[in-house]
Amino acid sequence: MGGVPGPFSCYLALRGVKTLHLRMREHEKNAFEVAKFLNSSPHVERVIYPGFESHPQHELAKKQMSGFGGMITFFINGNLETAKKFFRNTKLFTLAESLGGYESLAEHPALMTHASVPPDQRVVLGISDTLQLATTIPNYLSMEKESIQKRALRIIHPDSSYIEALKQAKLETYD
C-alpha cells in the first residue's frame, strides 16, 4: 500500500494542488526560454528539450502532454573540466540531485547520479559529460533579458574570454 501521509501532509498537498497548473505553466515557460537561449549559444554543443520541433519525440510529447516540462539537457562545448567550471561559477542554479522542489537545479550525471559507473560504461549507456537543468518558478525572464544573457555568458566564460563572448552575442561589455 505504501506510506500513509499524516493529516498535515495531506492538507499541504491539497493546498498545493490548487495552484499546480499555474506553477507548471510558469515552470514550462521558463524552461522553454532557457532552452532557446542555450540552443542559440555558440558555447553549447546541443540542447535536448521536447519543446523543440527538432526533438525526436516532439510530436509524441505534444499528443501526451499539455506542456513540455522543465527539464533540459545540454552539452557544453569542451570537456569535463569545462562542465566543472560551469558548476563552480553558476549563480542561477543550485547543484543538486532532486526533483519536485521549488529550486532551479543543475545536475551533472557523470559526477553525481552515475559517478559510480565507469567512464567507458557511461559512454556505452549514453551518459556523457552533459548537464541537466530543472527550471522552476523563479522567473529568470523577468530580469532584463540582456542581463540574464550576460550572466549566462559569465558563467560559461569566467575568464577573459567573457568579453569576447559578449561581443559575439552582440551585447554591451558593461554590467
How far is residue 146's CA from residue 34's CA, in Å, rounded to a whole number? 13
For residue 104, name the pLDDT band (cuts at 50, 70, 90).
confident
Mean of pLDDT over the chain: 78
Whether 104 is covered by a domain: the verdict is yes
| Phi-psi group of 59: left, alpha or beta (phi > 0 → left; psi -120 to 50 → alpha; rest → beta) | alpha
DSSP 88-133: HH-SSSEE---SSSSS-EEE-TTTTTTTTS-HHHHHHHT--S-EEE
**Tally of structural domains, the chain:** 1
Do 130 and 150 meet the contact criterion of CB atoms below 8 Å apart?
no
Number of C-beta neighbours around residue 108 at 10 A: 20
CB-hemisphere CA count at 13 Å for 98?
A: 11
Whether 62 is covered by a domain: the verdict is yes
Higher pLDDT, 30 or 158: 30
Q: Is the pLDDT of residue 156 over 60?
A: yes
Whether 11 is covered by a domain: the verdict is no
What range does the domain containing 82 cover? 21-139
Q: In sequence order, which residues have a C-beta less than 8 Å from that of residue 102 and are 6 or more positions away?
A: 136, 137
Whether 47 is covered by a domain: the verdict is yes
Mean pLDDT of 116-128: 85
Whether 160 is covered by a domain: the verdict is no
> For residue range 34-79, what is the model confidence (pLDDT) as tens digits?
889 889 888 888 899 999 999 999 999 999 999 998 888 888 888 8
Whether 155 is covered by a domain: the verdict is no
Mean pLDDT of 7-28: 88
Mean pLDDT of 160-175: 56
Whether 6 is covered by a domain: the verdict is no
Mean pLDDT of 14-29: 87
| CATH number for the domain that contains residue 66 | 3.90.1150.10
Do 65 and 85 meet the contact criterion of CB atoms below 8 Å apart?
no
For residue 138, name the pLDDT band (cuts at 50, 70, 90).
low
Mean pLDDT of 134-141: 54
98 bridge partner residues: none
Whether 43 is covered by a domain: the verdict is yes
- Burial label, 89 (beta-carbon count in 10 A; 0-12, 13-18, 19+): middle
